[in-house]
Amino acid sequence: MVWWRHDVVYQIYPRSFRDSSGDGVGDLPGILEKLDYLADVLGVGAVWISPFFRSPMADFGYDVSDYCDVDPLFGTLADFDRLVKEAHARGLKVIVDYVPNHTSDQHPWFVEARASREAPRRDFYVWRDPKPDGSPPNNWLSIFGGSAWELDEATGQYYLHTFLKQQPDFNWRNPAARAAMLDVLRFWLARGVDGFRIDAFHFVMKDPELRDNPPNAAAHAAFHRGLGAYDLQLHVHDVAHPDLHDVLRDIRRVLDDAGAEGSERVAIGEAHIYDPHRLCAYYGAALDELHLPFNFGLLKAAWQARAVRTVVDAYEAALPPGSWPNYVLGNHDEPRIASRIGEDQARIAMMLLLTLRGTPTLYYGDELAMHDVPIPPDQAQDPWGKNVEGLGRDPERTPMRWDAGPSAGFCPPDAVPWLPVGGDVDRINVAAQRDDPRSMLTLTRRLLALRRAREALFAGAYASVDHEGIPETCYVFTREAGGDRVLVALNFSNDACEVRLPGVRLGELLVSTHLDREGALGEGGLELRPAEGCVVTLR
Contact 506, 521 (CB under 8 A): yes
Asked if residue 79 binds ligand NOJ (CB under 6 A), the reply is no
- Least Å distance, CB 345 to ligand NOJ, is 25
Say how far apart CA 457 and CA 355 lie, in whole Å: 6
- Least Å distance, CB 9 to ligand NOJ, is 15
- Residue 116 C-beta-side C-alpha neighbours within 13 Å: 3
- Least Å distance, CB 244 to ligand NOJ, is 16
List the one residue from 19, 27, 59, 264 that touches ligand NOJ (CB under 6 A): 59
Residues 266-285 that bind ligand NOJ (CB under 6 A): 270
Say how far apart CA 335 and CA 319 lie, in whole Å: 27
Identified catalytic residue from 59, 79, 97, 199: 199
Q: Which C-beta is closer to ligand NOJ: that of 43 or that of 399? A: 399
Q: What region, left, alpha or beta, does residue 470 occupy, with left being phi > 0 and alpha being psi -120 to 50 degrees?
A: beta
List the one residue from 10, 62, 315, 410 that touches ligand NOJ (CB under 6 A): 62
Question: Which H helix or E strand runs over 458?
Answer: helix 455-459
Active-site annotation holds for 480 = no
Q: Which C-beta is closer to ligand NOJ: that of 163 or that of 418? A: 163
CA angle 418, 9, 533 (to 5 degrees): 100
Q: Which C-beta is closer to ligand NOJ: that of 32 or that of 181? A: 181
Asked if residue 364 binds ligand NOJ (CB under 6 A), the reply is no
- Least Å distance, CB 10 to ligand NOJ, is 16
CA-based nearest residue to 436, from 372, 536, 491, 368: 368
Asked if residue 196 binds ligand NOJ (CB under 6 A), the reply is no
Q: What is the DSSP letter of 65?
A: S
Identified catalytic residue from 7, 63, 97, 270: 270
User: How many residues bind to ligand NOJ according to rule CB under 6 A?
Assistant: 9
Which residues have CB under 8 Å from 435's CB, separation 6+?
none
Binding mask 318-337 for ligand NOJ (x = CB under 6 A): --------------xx----
Q: What is the DSSP string of 317-376?
A: HHSPTT---EEES--TTS--HHHHH-HHHHHHHHHHHHHSSSEEEEETTGGGTPPP----
List the one residue from 27, 105, 169, 199 that touches ligand NOJ (CB under 6 A): 199
Active-site annotation holds for 435 = no
Residues 8-47 that bind ligand NOJ (CB under 6 A): none
Q: Which C-beta is closer to ligand NOJ: that of 204 or that of 373? A: 204
Say how far apart CA 329 and CA 366 lie, in whole Å: 9
- Kindly report the number of other CB atoms within 10 A of residue 100's CB atom: 23
Question: Which H helix or E strand runs over 6?
Answer: helix 3-6
Q: Which C-beta is closer to ligand NOJ: that of 162 or that of 439? A: 162
Asked if residue 107 binds ligand NOJ (CB under 6 A), the reply is no
Q: First vs last Cα of the chain: how many Å apart?
A: 25
- Least Å distance, CB 67 to ligand NOJ, is 13
- Least Å distance, CB 522 to ligand NOJ, is 47
- Least Å distance, CB 392 to ligand NOJ, is 12
Q: Which C-beta is closer to ligand NOJ: that of 62 or that of 230? A: 62
Say how far apart CA 473 and CA 111 lie, in whole Å: 56
Contacts with ligand NOJ by CB under 6 A lie at: 59, 62, 99, 163, 199-200, 270, 332-333
Q: Point out the residues that are catalytic.
A: 199, 270
